[in-house]
Structure 1
C-alpha cells in the first residue's frame, strides 16, 4: 500500500462519521497514555527520590494488562465494543481521580504501584474492543488505510502529548499531568457516547465464538503471524527496557532532568508518524523487517556515545521511524491473516505477549541499572536486537536460496 494521501485522509473522515468519532476518541485516549508516560515516572521520582524506581513505573500496569488480556479479548468479541471502550475509559477516569485524592496526602511507592495496576487493568479492555470494532466499521482497502492512519495518529500523539506535558510540567508539579490525562480520557468518553456510533458491517459469528483460546489458535496456525509475534516480543521487551533506562541515562551521563525525556518521546512521535506513512513503500518481505530491526539495534548501540540531548533526540528519531513502520506492517498483516469474528481475541492474545515482554523489560531495568549501568544496558539492548535482525536476514536468505534451487530443478 502506498503512503496515505491527504485526499484519502479526507475521504475516510467524510465518508464514515463513526470511524471519525472512534479515531478522535482513540487520539484522546492515546494523548492520555502519552501523558502518563511522562508524568508517572516524574511522579515516582518526586514521591520517592529514587531514580532507579522510575524503571518500575509501568510494571504494574503492563502486568495487569497482560493478565486481563484473554478476558478482554473475549469481552471484545462477545459484547458491544462501543460500550466496552466507554467502560474502559470511564474506569481510567475513576482511577486517576482516586490517585489525585491519594496524592493530596502523599503517596508511597506501593500506592503508586497499586495505581499502575488498576490503570492497566482498566485499559486492557480498550485496545481489543477498538480493534474488533474497526472490523465492523471498515473493510478491504479502507481498513488497511485506516490502520496506517491509526499508526500515524498514535505516533503523532507521542509528539503532541509529551510536548504538552513538558510545557505543563515546566510550570506545574507532576500531579497536574495526572489531571490533564483525566480530562483527555473523559473527552474520549464524550465522543463515543452517542448511540449512532456503531459498526454497520455484519460479521459472521463463529460456532466457537466464546472460546478465548481461538485468538491463540489463529496466530499459531499462521506461519507469518508466529514469526511476527516473536519479533514483536523482542521489540517490546527491549523497547520498554530502553524507555525505562532512558531517564537514568539522561540523569547519570548527561546531567539532565527526567523532564528531558519528553523530547525523546516527541522525536519518536514525529519520526514514527513518518514511518507509518512510508511503511507501504518499504515492502512487506522479511528483509524489510530485518532492516528495520537492525536500525533500532544501531540506535541502541550508539546511545553510550551520545554526549548531548540533541544527539539522543536524533537517535530516538531513527528508532521512532523504525518502530512506526514496523507497527503498521505488523498490524496490516494481522488484519490479513485473522478473521473478523476473532479479531478481538487475536488482538488480546497479541497484547498479552507484548505486555508480558514489556513487563519483564520494565521489571529488569532496576537490576540492569544497578549492576551494569545505563550505558552498558543500551549496549546489551543493541546486541539483542542486532542478533534478532541477523537471524531474520539469514532466514530470508535461506528461503530465497531454496526458492532459486526449486526453480532451477529440471522438470
Structure 2
C-alpha cells in the first residue's frame, strides 16, 4: 500500500487525526510555512488515515531543557518486534537503516515502558519533555518530546497561552514543528569523516545526541482528553555533570566551544543558551566535552531571533583550527536540504533559504579568517529593535531582484552583497 502524506502547515496543528488503527498524525492545515512528512509505519504494511472525517481535537506539548551525555551503549541489540501501541519509530524512507545505537535506545525505552515504568516529566523548560527509564527503572535512557505538548501548543502542560496564529516562541518558528527540527539537527550534524547519508553510528561533529521520530502511547503523558498515541522526538539521554550555566565558560576547551558555534551558525539557532549545552566527560582522558541539546528552534524562516550565548565567551574570539576550517569547507547546503528530504522532511522555502544563507556566511567568514565571534555577531541583533547585519543583507538582496526571480538568482544576489559587506568590515 502507498503511504499517506502528512503535512504540518500554518497555523500550528490544533488537531490530530485518528486513523482506523488508533494512531494519530498531524492534521493538514493551511499556510505557507510547510514542513512536509510522509508518515508510514515501520513495516510498510499499514497507512495512516488522513481523511478529515477522522479528525478530533487534541491539545499539545513539547520542548524544554534537560541533561544528557553519552551513556554507555551496549553492543547492537537485534531489532525486536515492538508493540506498536506502545512505542515505534517513524521511518519514512525504506532505504534508511537506523543505527544500532538508535535501535538500542528504542529497545531500552520500550522495555522500560513495558516494565511499567512511567515517563518522568522534566520540571524545567517551557514544553512537555519526558525522561524515559530502562527496564530496571533506575536509569534514564531517552527523552521524549511530543509535538502536541510544545510551547504554545494546545496540550502544553506549562500553562503557556495557545498560539492562535501558529507562530512559536521564537520568530520564524512554528508550533508543532519542534520535534522535526530536533531530528533535523541530528541528521545534519555530520561526522568529521564525511556527510551523513544515513543514520550511522559515527558521532556527529558537534555531538548532537542520537534523535529519531517515534510514536508513543502512555497514560503518563499529558492527555486532557482520552488516551491517544503521541508523535514526537526521542533523543538519547546523555549522562552529564550539569550544563554550561553551572560554571564559568573559561574552563571549556576551545575545540568544544567551536564545534557548538559551527552547529548553531549553520542552523541559525534561535535558542542557544548555556542551559542547553551539557557538560560531559571523555571516558579516555576525563576531558570536558560539551553536548548541545534542544534544537526545536533551529532552521527558522528568518534570522530575527538568532541567539548564541557563546558569542561572549573568550573561546569565540579565537580562530578556528585548520581541522574545523576543513570541516566547514566540506559543508553543502544543497546536499543538506536533499538529505532532509530523503529522510522525509521537505523544508519550507524560507527555512531552506535560511540554511543556504547561514552556510554561505559561515564558509565566506572562515575563508577570510574570521573568528566565531566575528561571524556570529553578524547573525545576532545588538538590540531588539536593530536588525542584524545578515538581516540587512537579505533585505538588500530582496530589494535588488525583480519579483518572481528564481531562488538561485536571489541567492547569487545575497552572495554578492555579502561579499561586499564582509570586505568592508575586514578593511
Point out the structure with the larger strand share: 2
Q: Same fold (TM over 0.5)?
A: no
**When the two structures are superposed, what TM-score results if normalisation uses the length of structure 1?**
0.27
Point out the structure with the larger helix share: 1
Higher relative contact order (CA 8 A, sep 6+): 1
